[in-house]
């Protein structure tokens, strides 16, 4: 086949050249108003996309578009090969033992729901305990509450300490013989806290529990190796890691995936169908009913090439440095209080804060007039807001293309916000 992709054969590491990286992201040249350049600090919600990913989408629709796994014609064979090559890239990226353990879903939310339906509904019984934490995103809370209401499982929360880290002493008491599943975020989207999986996973494993990790915030920003972590399921979304929206990943150990029933029924996920019954295709097809999001999966593969070329260690190092700078810079802005751990080694590039006397939504709106895009609200983590006793926070979140100049712009704009509202002295 003529479209064999040289990028599949190995990754050549590129130096972490910020100016060159920024040139790959056309949107970073945008002005929000004449003379007001965009400072994009809402990366925990979604990342921007490099030209390589945008071009791959166009190239797929222009040159290869066809449905996959169904045709003998050239385009269908090409599309299938590109789609499966993307699956292999994802597997390598997280060090999955088998490419077939990678399931394409729509996003992290769907991946978590898939496990709640196809694994937990089959294998958990009344009284079994599912342990999550107080710092989860709603997508790792609501499916378990729904399961609790439907099946009578017990849902237990590892509490958050005032500094935004998890109470590990409490975790040691909560994770016990009745724990059948630990489903835990690796990094909080509301506070940036990096969760010590190296402590929590062995606690759960010692009880024979299955471990699911919500990697929506960790996989885009840190090296993640599912074998080294010794976990069973991992969920993440392409759109937070330079890829398109509408494509996500569930990785699971083959033995668990094999034992699970399908999530959705329909085309492509069956082996045979008669009027009476159906039998299931092998994993991963068993979990990919209907026409999948072929183009976005392929472009996600290109996003992974991009991250691989930089190296996730370098991405983490850059973001740690930016976060460290931002923690110090923002702490100097009168009236700013930062939530979560103050040590950049303990957090990802997410900083939630409040500004004395100004509602977070007002902060967001005034910053927008300065071109600075941040997120305000509860960040789909209302239990964190309850624990902090605030209705909402302002949140700046960084990615591999952000600069210290942009942090300075955030800080000086916050000073403007204070002046505008006549707030902190």
Ligand X SMILES: Cc1ncc(COP(=O)(O)O)c(C=O)c1O
Residue 380 among the catalytic residues? yes
Size of the site for ligand X (CB under 6 A): 13
Question: CA 142, CA 139: separation in Å to the nearest integer?
Answer: 6
What count of other Cβ atoms lies within 10 Å of the Cβ of residue 316? 17
Contact flag: residue 109 with ligand X (CB under 6 A): yes
Nearer residue to ligand X within complex by CB, 186 or 414:
186
CB of 240 to ligand X, least distance (A): 6
Nearer residue to ligand X within complex by CB, 84 or 110:
110
Nearer residue to ligand X within complex by CB, 366 or 381:
381
H-state helical runs in 217-348: 226-229, 254-259, 294-310, 312-331
Contact flag: residue 137 with ligand X (CB under 6 A): yes
Contact flag: residue 296 with ligand X (CB under 6 A): no
Which DSSP state fits 157?
A: E
Contact flag: residue 107 with ligand X (CB under 6 A): yes
Question: CA 326, CA 396: separation in Å to the nearest integer?
Answer: 9
Contact flag: residue 397 with ligand X (CB under 6 A): no
For the record, the structure tokens of 261 come out as 């029933």
Nearer residue to ligand X within complex by CB, 335 or 360:
360
Q: Is the dihedral of CA 187, 188, 194, 196 positive or negative?
A: negative
Which DSSP state fits 330?
A: H
Q: Is the dihedral of CA 86, 87, 88, 89 positive or negative?
A: positive
Q: Candidates 64-72, 101-109, 117-125, 383-391: pick the segment binding ligand X (CB under 6 A).
A: 101-109
Contact flag: residue 160 with ligand X (CB under 6 A): no
Please give the torsion angle defined by the CA atoms of residues 295, 297, 301 and 304, in that order, rounded to the nearest 10 degrees: 130
410, 396 Cβ separation under 8 angstroms: yes
149, 98 Cβ separation under 8 angstroms: no
Question: CA 245, CA 296: separation in Å to the nearest integer?
Answer: 7
Contact flag: residue 193 with ligand X (CB under 6 A): no
Q: Candidates 76-84, 107-115, 142-150, 226-234: pick the segment binding ligand X (CB under 6 A).
A: 107-115
The catalytic residue among 380, 420, 423, 424 is 380
Contact flag: residue 139 with ligand X (CB under 6 A): yes
Per-residue x/- track, 207-226, ligand X (CB under 6 A): -------x-xx---------
Nearer residue to ligand X within complex by CB, 190 or 410:
190
Bridge partners of 183, per DSSP, are 212
CB of 190 to ligand X, least distance (A): 8
Q: Which residues participate in catalysis according to the annotation?
A: 380
Which parts of this chain interact with ligand X (CB under 6 A)?
A: 44, 107-109, 137, 139-140, 185, 189, 214, 216-217, 237
């Amino acid at each position: 086949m003529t479209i064999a992709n040289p990028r599949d054969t190995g990754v050549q590491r590129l130096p972490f050249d910020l100016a060159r990286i920024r040139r790959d992201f056309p949107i970073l040249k945008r002005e929000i108003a004449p003379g007001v350049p965009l400072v994009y600090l809402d990366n925990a919600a979604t990342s921007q996309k490099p030209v390589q990913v945008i071009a791959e989408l166009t190239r797929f629709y222009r040159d290869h578009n066809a449905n996959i796994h169904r045709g003998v014609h050239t385009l269908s064979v090409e599309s299938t090969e590109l789609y499966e090559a993307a699956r292999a890239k994802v597997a390598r990226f997280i060090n999955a033992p088998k490419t077939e353990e990678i399931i394409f879903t729509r996003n992290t939310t769907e991946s978590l729901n898939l496990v709640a339906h196809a694994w937990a509904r089959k294998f958990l019984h009344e009284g079994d305990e599912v342990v999550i934490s107080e710092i989860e995103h709603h997508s790792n809370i609501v499916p378990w509450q729904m399961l609790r209401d439907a099946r009578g499982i017990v849902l237990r929360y590892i509490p958050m300490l005032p500094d935004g880290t998890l109470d590990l002493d409490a975790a040691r008491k909560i994770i016990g013989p009745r724990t059948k599943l630990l489903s835990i975020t690796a990094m909080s989207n509301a506070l940036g806290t990096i969760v010590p999986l190296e402590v929590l996973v062995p606690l759960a494993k010692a009880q024979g529990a299955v471990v699911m990790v919500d990697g929506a915030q960790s996989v885009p920003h840190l090296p993640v190796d599912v074998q080294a972590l010794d976990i069973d399921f991992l969920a993440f979304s392409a759109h937070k890691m330079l890829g398109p929206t509408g494509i996500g990943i569930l990785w699971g150990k083959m033995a668990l995936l094999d034992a699970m029933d399908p999530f959705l029924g329909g085309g492509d996920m069956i082996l045979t169908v008669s009027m009476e019954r159906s039998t299931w295709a092998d994993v991963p097809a068993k979990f990919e009913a209907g026409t999948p999001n072929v183009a976005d999966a392929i472009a996600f593969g290109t996003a992974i090439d991009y991250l691989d070329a930089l190296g996730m260690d370098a991405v983490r190092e850059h973001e740690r440095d930016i976060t460290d700078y931002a923690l110090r810079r923002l702490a100097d802005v009168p009236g700013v209080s930062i939530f979560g751990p103050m040590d950049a080694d303990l957090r990802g590039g997410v900083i939630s804060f409040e500004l004395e006397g100004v509602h977070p939504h007002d902060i967001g709106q005034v910053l927008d007039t300065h071109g600075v895009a941040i997120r305000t609200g509860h960040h789909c983590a209302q239990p964190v807001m309850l624990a902090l006793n605030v209705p909402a926070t302002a949140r700046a979140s960084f990615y591999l293309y952000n600069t210290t100049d942009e942090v300075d712009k955030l800080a000086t704009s916050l000073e403007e916000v204070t002046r505008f509202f006549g707030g902190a002295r």
